[in-house]
Homo-oligomer: A and B are copies of this chain.
């Protein structure tokens, strides 16, 4: 939690639940990533948090943008981004969205199958395209592997076909999975990409770009490798596999840039044991899985929690949201301890919640309003 957020919460006491994001910290994170990977162009993954204040700041820093939909492209344009600096990075796009993006000047599109490539050839003629490869997501706390990406063999064929269709066969992409904590996870993917680039070069097709995706982790309850270690591992792997013929490098960070810049302020609604001796206390907050903490599904992302009673004696708890839904449980299997003195009405903070929270929030499940947001 940055000093600015602490001060805002102390002075403003905004109604809970709410998300508070320190936009200066977003800038700090962006700059740290630039330092760690100076050769990579940063395409901010808008889906992590598309708030105007964040997009505007990133535009001012010269960031590019990875958009998941036409609507996200519009948000970037409205924030002042150039269409040239936007990648339409969703492998699954409606024809109407491709047309709208193309009409707005977007010329960079991803695909991972022949059907999508044909759509792009027809509705975004001449555009730069890159093919997403399927790679192992080992080490990622929020894996993405099954839904996206194609095989090396198929990518080879499709890139050649892209040329035949009049598109610009620009490069290849992969994604090692979100909140990837293994710095070594990139190398295997890079080696496969390099082999395919070399193979296609022999076939007369010179790709110019590698999109390394995102996945850079932030600290939740446990330390993660420093971003410089990821930068070092990636640079080393790129040099090893591409030698002096380094392609353009793109990265698509979302969580790394905004995650650590945000804090959710919530209220304890109830603490109870419900007659079950020896069981944990159940702590119910006014935010849960359907109020924005969707990444606690399967207890995957484990937020650190601060309470006003910290320092006192603690005991095991299960943590749940405020709805009548039995699935609205954040942590039951993961060991969490909170102060024994914690009680209904206490304000608590969930740290590292700047990414993938505000937009996941349900419109009005159980009647609760969407999460309030403050960008400071």
| Contact B366–A69 (Cβ < 8 Å) | yes
Please tell me which one of the listed residues B68, B148, B364 contacts residue A367 in the complex, with CB atoms under 8 A apart: B68
Task: Say yes or no: is A75 at the interface (Cβ < 8 Å to chain B).
Answer: yes
Contacts of A375 in B (CB 8 A): none
Nearest residue (CB) in B for A76 is: B367
Contacts of A137 in B (CB 8 A): 326
A115/B368 contact (C-beta < 8 A), A147-B329, A344-B95, A363-B359 known: no
Contacts of A45 in B (CB 8 A): 324
| Contact B90–A366 (Cβ < 8 Å) | yes
New A-B contacts (14) at CB < 8 Å, excluding given A113-B273, A134-B274, A177-B326: A45-B324, A47-B367, A50-B367, A69-B322, A95-B344, A112-B274, A113-B270, A137-B326, A146-B332, A151-B275, A153-B275, A297-B327, A358-B363, A360-B362
Chain B nearest CB, measured from A150 CB (Å):
4
Segment 147-176 of A: residues with Cβ below 8 Å from B: 147-151, 153-155
Nearest residue (CB) in B for A113 is: B272
A155/B367 contact (C-beta < 8 A), A146-B329, A286-B94 known: no
| Contact A47–B366 (Cβ < 8 Å) | yes
| Contact B115–A344 (Cβ < 8 Å) | yes
Contacts of A362 in B (CB 8 A): 294, 359-363
12 pairs, A vs B, C-beta closer than 8 Å: A50-B367, A68-B324, A71-B366, A71-B367, A71-B369, A95-B344, A113-B274, A146-B318, A147-B328, A297-B327, A358-B363, A359-B366
| Contact A151–B276 (Cβ < 8 Å) | yes
| Contact A72–B326 (Cβ < 8 Å) | no
Segment 313-343 of A: residues with Cβ below 8 Å from B: 318, 320, 322-329, 332, 343
Provide the bound-state CA to CA distance between A162 and B177, in Å. 52
Nearest residue (CB) in B for A137 is: B326
Counted per complex, copies of this chain come to: 2
| Contact A95–B345 (Cβ < 8 Å) | yes
Which A-B residue pairs are the 8 nearest by beta carbons? Answer: A154-B275, A144-B326, A71-B367, A113-B272, A72-B367, A151-B275, A68-B366, A69-B367
Segment 14-69 of A: residues with Cβ below 8 Å from B: 45-47, 50, 67-69
Please tell me which one of the listed residues B115, B267, B272, B359 contacts residue A115 in the complex, with CB atoms under 8 A apart: B272
Nearest residue (CB) in B for A274 is: B150
Please tell me which one of the listed residues B89, B146, B274 contacts residue A324 in the complex, with CB atoms under 8 A apart: B89
| Contact B359–A270 (Cβ < 8 Å) | no
Task: Say yes or no: is A253 at the interface (Cβ < 8 Å to chain B).
Answer: no
Provide the bound-state CA to CA distance between A134 and B276, in Å. 10
Please tell me which one of the listed residues B114, B147, B275, B369 contacts residue A326 in the complex, with CB atoms under 8 A apart: B147
Task: Say yes or no: is A271 at the interface (Cβ < 8 Å to chain B).
Answer: yes
| Contact A367–B46 (Cβ < 8 Å) | yes
Task: Say yes or no: is A138 at the interface (Cβ < 8 Å to chain B).
Answer: no
Provide the bound-state CA to CA distance between A178 and B325, in Å. 10
Nearest residue (CB) in B for A155 is: B275
| Contact A274–B154 (Cβ < 8 Å) | yes
Task: Say yes or no: is A376 at the interface (Cβ < 8 Å to chain B).
Answer: no
Task: Say yes or no: is A303 at the interface (Cβ < 8 Å to chain B).
Answer: no
| Contact A47–B324 (Cβ < 8 Å) | yes
| Contact A267–B94 (Cβ < 8 Å) | yes
| Contact B360–A361 (Cβ < 8 Å) | no
| Contact B363–A370 (Cβ < 8 Å) | yes
Provide the bound-state CA to CA distance between A75 and B364, in Å. 12
Task: Say yes or no: is A93 at the interface (Cβ < 8 Å to chain B).
Answer: yes
